[in-house]
Amino acid sequence: MKAVELKNGVYWVGAIDWAVRDFHGYVTPRGTTYNNYLIMDDEITLLDTVKYDFADITIKNIRSVVEPSKIRHVVINHIENDHVTSIDKIMALTPDATIYITEKGRKGLDRFFDISKWNIKIVKTGDTLKIGKRTLLFIETPMLHWPDSMMTYIKEEKILISQDGFGQHIASAVRFDDEFATCESMSELEDAIIDYYANILMPFGQIIKTKIADLQKMGLEIEMIAPDHGIIWRSNPQKVLQMYMDMAGGKANLSVSIIYDTMWHSTEQMTYPIMQGIKDEGVECKVIRLRATPMSVAIKEFWRSRGTLIGTPTLNNIMYPSVAEFLTHLRGLRPKNRIAAAFGSFGWGGGAVKEAYEEIKRMGLETVEPGLQILYRPSLEDETTCYEFGKEFAKRVKEYHQKFQ
């Protein structure tokens, strides 16, 4: 690999991770990239570093443009390990460079490295750094998605270095959206955006809306959005901005995800007539069995759909463990603007459906009650009840969906 020029002396010098499949628990079937950027100006500037394992690759890519010892400034937009753990290797090559970072970033960096040997300058929103012909503008984005996070805008090039924001976990031979749309497909890129947003940014919708509005108020012209993961938006950055605004505003498909697990296939048998009832109401339906599906995929499908049905057998009077795990994970993501109900089979006293509702209500989601419980295995009569349950839920999803139109 070598550096890839974005625009007039601004280069991608990052690394492609073809092999990562588990990104702190988030399944990444397409791998990812750790993007960082080099600006060739009177004072050469590096924006972000990469994960430790890829330090030698980014150094080699930098070297394809300039000797790393000539770097004068290093901007650290975010201190999560995938972006900052090669900084000591880079600083060893240019020990007199100055690091630009938020105050919260500096505090975090101090926990990972001995920072006493480095020149560090704290920056906040509105601060600028003139590096020659170009000016960098720093924009703090706290909780997008860590307290330390910020973005950097290269004024003269109209490039927003957006850190995790607008990124995707895609390892690809190409760097730009127009190239990806040609060699792969735009729908795959959109899917990766939704996947990333659902699994990483779902809790921060209100902050995202406010921050995008702030960027608009600042009057920044954005011709390119260069995130620290995946594909760079050069042909249509407005598309990903609009996708973020839509998702932050509660956009979802008029569809239902049935997310379930099963012990001896009884809860599973309930899903078929329920699915049919949903479809017969003209609502799309996707069925996801936990334990057969990565958690991050189940989260994405929950996020895509306006309605979700949680299916859980009762085990020892409580929810099935994989369903409890899913709901706990989902609660941490603070979902909004979705409607849910629960169903499942039981043998003795039941309890799982009740517990599923308690968890759904803790999240503050809209519910359709009382759900549906079937003793042992659904009979033919029970299957009709399941079908009607699916139909009724789909009707309620359609009504609820109207609120967002």
**Which positions lie near ligand FEO, rule CB under 6 A?**
78, 80, 82-83, 145-146, 164, 228-229
**Annotation marks residue 78 as catalytic:** yes
- State the DSSP string of 138-173: EEE-TTSSSTT-EEEEETTTTEEEEETTT------S
Residues forming beta bridges with residue 375, ordered by sequence position = 346
| Shorter beta-carbon distance to ligand FEO: residue 52 or 146 | 146
What sign results for the dihedral spanned by CA atoms 20, 23, 28, 32? Answer: negative
Output the smallest distance, CB 387 to ligand FEO, in A: 44
Please name the helix (run of DSSP H) or strand (run of DSSP E) that holds residue 357, with its range, or none.
helix 352-362
Contact present, 356 and 327 (Cβ < 8 Å) = yes
**Annotation marks residue 145 as catalytic:** yes
| Shorter beta-carbon distance to ligand FEO: residue 23 or 272 | 23
Of the residues 41, 140, 148, 164, only one is catalytic, namely 164
Report how far residue 386's alpha carbon sits from residue 378's, in angstroms, rounded to the nearest whole number: 9
**Annotation marks residue 80 as catalytic:** yes
Of the residues 73, 83, 169, 229, only one is catalytic, namely 229
Backbone angles phi, psi at 21, to 5 degrees: -120, -15
**What secondary structure letter does DSSP report for 233?**
B
Of the residues 11, 26, 140, 145, only one is catalytic, namely 145
**Annotation marks residue 329 as catalytic:** no
**Annotation marks residue 229 as catalytic:** yes
Output the smallest distance, CB 85 to ligand FEO, in A: 11
CA angle 355, 357, 362 (to 5 degrees): 100
What sign results for the dihedral spanned by CA atoms 394, 398, 280, 300? Answer: negative
Output the smallest distance, CB 86 to ligand FEO, in A: 13
Nearest to 38, CA basis, from 60, 76, 9: 9
Of the residues 24, 114, 221, 381, only one is catalytic, namely 24
Burial zone of 217 (CB within 10 Å; 0-12 exposed, 13-18 middle, 19+ buried): exposed
| Shorter beta-carbon distance to ligand FEO: residue 78 or 175 | 78
Of the residues 82, 140, 148, 281, only one is catalytic, namely 82
Nearest to 293, CA basis, from 328, 250, 257: 257
Of the residues 26, 41, 48, 78, only one is catalytic, namely 78
| Shorter beta-carbon distance to ligand FEO: residue 78 or 300 | 78
Output the smallest distance, CB 162 to ligand FEO, in A: 11
| Shorter beta-carbon distance to ligand FEO: residue 168 or 308 | 168
| Shorter beta-carbon distance to ligand FEO: residue 166 or 389 | 166
Output the smallest distance, CB 79 to ligand FEO, in A: 9
Nearest to 227, CA basis, from 304, 163, 279, 171: 163
Output the smallest distance, CB 251 to ligand FEO, in A: 23
Answer whether the bond into residue 83 is a cis peptide, omega within 30°: no
Output the smallest distance, CB 172 to ligand FEO, in A: 17
Report how far residue 211's alpha carbon sits from residue 292's, in angstroms, rounded to the nearest whole number: 37
| Shorter beta-carbon distance to ligand FEO: residue 164 or 382 | 164
| Shorter beta-carbon distance to ligand FEO: residue 141 or 322 | 141
Output the smallest distance, CB 146 to ligand FEO, in A: 6
Backbone angles phi, psi at 77, to 5 degrees: -80, -20
Length reported for the chain: 405
Report how far residue 182's alpha carbon sits from residue 312's, in angstroms, rounded to the nearest whole number: 42
Of the residues 80, 179, 184, 284, only one is catalytic, namely 80
Give the CB-nearest residue to ligand FEO: 80
Of the residues 153, 196, 244, 320, only one is catalytic, namely 196
Report how far residue 97's alpha carbon sits from residue 44's, in angstroms, rounded to the nearest whole number: 10
**Annotation marks residue 164 as catalytic:** yes
Catalytic residues, by residue number, are 24, 78, 80, 82, 145, 164, 196, 229
